[in-house]
Amino acid sequence: MATTLVVGATLGAAAAVVNSVPLLLGEGGRARADRSAWSQTAEFASLILDSGWAWAAMAVAVGWLVSGGLRPVVGVLAGALAGCVALIDATIVYDAVPMLFPFHQGFAWGQTPFWLVASLVLGLPLGAVGATIRRPGLIGVLAALVAPIGAALNMVVLPPPAESPVAEPVVLTVWAAAAAATVLVLVFAVCARRPGDRNSGTVRSIRPLRTDSGSHAWEPPGRTGPDGAGPIELPSRRPHSGGALSDAEGAAENNWGLTGNLGRIHCRARSKKAVSD
Q: Are residues 147 and 269 in the same domain?
A: no
Q: Are residues 132 and 222 in the same domain?
A: no
Q: Are residues 251 and 183 in the same domain?
A: no
Where is pLDDT greater, at 136 or 277? 136
**Domains in the chain, number:** 2
Percentage of the chain lying above the pLDDT 90 cut: 47
Span 235-248, pLDDT tens digits: 444 444 444 445 54
Strand order in the sheet with 207-210: 207-210, 216-219, 232-234, 268-269
Where is pLDDT greater, at 14 or 219? 14
Contact (CB, 8 A) for 162 and 154? no
Its pTM stands at: 0.67
Q: Are residues 220 and 123 in the same domain?
A: no
Query: Is residue 231 scored above 70 in pLDDT?
Result: no
Task: Give me the pLDDT at residue 238, please.
Answer: 46
In a domain, 198, yes or no: no
Task: Give me the pLDDT at residue 2, please.
Answer: 86
**For residue 116, what pLDDT band results from cuts at 50, 70 and 90?**
very high
Q: Are residues 131 and 244 in the same domain?
A: no
Q: Are residues 105 and 133 in the same domain?
A: yes
Closest Cα partner for 90 from 135, 63, 58?
Answer: 58
**For residue 59, what pLDDT band results from cuts at 50, 70 and 90?**
very high
Burial of 138 (0-12, 13-18, 19+ CB in 10 A): exposed
- Per-residue 3-state assignment (H helix, E strand, C coil) for 73-128: HHHHHHHHHHHHHHHHHHHHHHHHHHHHCCCCCCCCCCCHHHHHHHHHHHHHHHHH
Domain boundary among the residues 172, 193, 214 is at: 193
Give the residue numbers spanning the domain of 54.
Answer: 2-193
Mean pLDDT score, 57-79 = 94
**For residue 138, what pLDDT band results from cuts at 50, 70 and 90?**
very high
Alpha-helix residue ranges (DSSP H) falling in the chain:
2-24, 37-49, 52-66, 72-96, 112-132, 138-144, 146-157, 167-191, 247-255, 272-276
Task: Give me the pLDDT at residue 106, please.
Answer: 62
Percentage of the chain lying above the pLDDT 70 cut: 67
Span 2-26, pLDDT tens digits: 889 999 999 999 999 998 888 888 8
CA distance 22 to 43: 8
Helix (H, G, I), strand (E, B) or coil at 50: coil
Span 184-198, pLDDT tens digits: 999 999 888 755 544
Mean pLDDT score, 45-49 = 94
Q: Are residues 163 and 253 in the same domain?
A: no
